[in-house]
Structure 1
Amino acid sequence: MKAQGSMVVAGGDGTRKSTLRSAHSEPPFSIRQCGERILVAASAAAPVGGDELSLNIAVLAGARADIGTVAATLALPGPTGAPSAMSMQCTIGMDAHLDWIGEPTVSVVGSDHTITTVVDLDETATCRVVEEVSLGRSGEPSGRLQLVLRVRRAGRPLVHHAEEFGPNVAGAGSVVSTGGARHLLSEVLVGVDASESRVSMSPTCRAAWLPVAADAVVILAVGADRPSVRSAVADLRRGPV
């Protein structure tokens, strides 16, 4: 299956901080404004091996877009063993802001999935982009999963981060990868006080705050489960004690 979704977000009308000006969605995408947020729901099972999906988001000048997904996404194997792919392209205009906070993608055993996220910011735009993945369902190993994240500001690279996971990937389960952790989170913040790098360590989770510019940070966290990862990230965001 090949499918596309797209949306254009404009400034608020006095009652909302952002308004969905236009949207186009082919199954499995379903795009709706729900109060202050814009949500992407799945109207069909996807991605399945062989699927090629793409989502394009344009946030116009001055708008503040709060966008997310309704539920977790299962990356499923297909009958032929073909890989699947999901790409998201975000363009953020002058003085605009994007919050993208998606629910986790679960890499199901036997799947081979690639997620590519590209964010293009105007010189004065800001963003918060959060992506989470779970490596396998409960009691199962994961499939193969590739993650690619690129953030550019005024055409210049700010972040380019790529990772690959799966039981057959070199170094899987070692300290150079996830160290056996099953839940991962990456977050990019642009328009914040980056301060200095710092880490959060516990028996169930490891997280790092990594400045990439004076006003931009990458947060990376791996842990046993989603609650422990989110708790560690919340500690990092509060700053040193």
Structure 2
Amino acid sequence: MSGVHATARIGARDDGRGGTSLPVLESDGPLALRRTRGTGGEARVMLVGAMSGPLGGDRFRVEADIGAGARLRVGSAAATIALPGQAKDEAHYDVRLAVADGGELHWLPEQLISARGSDLSVTTRADLQAGARLVLREEQVLGRAGEEPGRLTSRLTVRIAGGVVLDQELSCGPGAPGGWDGPAVLAGHRAVGQVVLVRPEFEGEPAVARRVAEDACVMPLAGPAALVTAVAPDALRLRRVLDEALADLGIR
């Protein structure tokens, strides 16, 4: 089978002293994990791409398991760029997140850029126990400056206490179902993003559906969750719009 296979794993646990320990911090190949300075009881990890990619045929997987009472923030050092490779196979990037009751995860990677000629499938699944907290951001940019995008399929699934609260898929670029660039989906924009918020307090006071910024809206989900979605002409504006929406919800 062609392409590079790599897996990165993070395990976060309450250290019993008001902080968060990382008993599991494993990575290989083009995926590298680095612990950075945290604040308060929160641990922080940076995902660093040691090589370009994913390329055609590559299979990357990132797993994070957050225990009860642990708090973890994960970011990435730079944008991920999906590129064409010598192999014509589809590349895969899978993210699996698990958060226990009383645990908290902020999953905040930089943008994913779909370069011309690439073919990437991204699947993100978050499984949360009741009482878990989550801020999960995804941002996709279709093509670098002045170029057409590659093929990008992105699926995001969130489960709380065993029940599905969100399961959505977006396919863009050459070969994608018609209408992805039309007024009902991206309307000509080249950057799209979403933030999933899971907060126990949403159970008693759900988020209110509304427009919160230019080309961004908040939608309540079943259970203690909400979804912010946005489109923008470029990555910079997309991040600004999502930040405005989160500030409106009181999230930093």
Normalising to structure 2: TM-score of the pair?
Answer: 0.88
Give the distance between the partners of 1:48 and 1:28, measured in 2 at CA.
11
Q: Which amino acid aligns with 2:80?
A: T
Change (3 A) 1:101 1:12: farther
Map 1:5-20 → 2, pairs under 5 A: 5-12=8-15, 17-20=19-22
Higher mean C-alpha deviation, range 174-183 or range 113-122: 174-183
**Of 210, 214, 230, the match for 1:198:** 210
Give the distance between the partners of 2:192 and 2:166, measured in 1 at CA.
18
Give the distance between the partners of 2:111 and 2:16, measured in 1 at CA.
31
Partner residue, 2:191: 183
Pairwise CA RMSD: 1.8
Q: CA deviation at 1:186?
A: 1.0
**Of 35, 54, 58, the match for 1:33:** 35
Q: Could you report, residue by residue, the CA deviation over 1:37-85 in whole angstroms, capped at 9, with x for unpaired residues?
A: 2111011222000001111111111101111111101101111321100
Partner residue, 2:179: 171
Partner residue, 1:81: 88
Higher mean C-alpha deviation, range 229-238 or range 27-36: 229-238
Q: Does 1:233 align with 2:242?
A: yes
| Contact 1:66/1:99 (<8 A) preserved | yes
Higher mean C-alpha deviation, range 133-142 or range 154-163: 154-163
Secondary structure at 2:165's aligned position in 1?
A: strand
Give the distance between the partners of 2:56 and 2:170, measured in 1 at CA.
20
Q: Does 1:62 align with 2:69?
A: yes
Partner residue, 2:56: 49
Q: Which runs of 5+ in 2 are unaligned?
A: 39-43
Q: Which runs of 5+ in 1 are unaligned?
A: none
Q: CA deviation at 1:176?
A: 2.2
Give the distance between the partners of 1:66 and 1:195, measured in 2 at CA.
23
**Of 147, 155, 165, the match for 1:140:** 147
Map 1:86-105 → 2, pairs under 5 A: 86-105=93-112
Q: Which amino acid aligns with 2:46?
A: L
Give the distance between the partners of 1:177 and 1:56, measured in 2 at CA.
30
Give the distance between the partners of 1:105 and 1:29, measured in 2 at CA.
15
Q: Does 1:23 align with 2:25?
A: yes
**How many aligned positions are there?**
236
| Contact 1:13/1:19 (<8 A) preserved | no
Partner residue, 2:163: 156
Change (3 A) 1:139 1:89: same
- Give the 4+ runs in structure 1 shifted more than 6 A: none
Give the distance between the partners of 2:73 and 2:34, measured in 1 at CA.
12
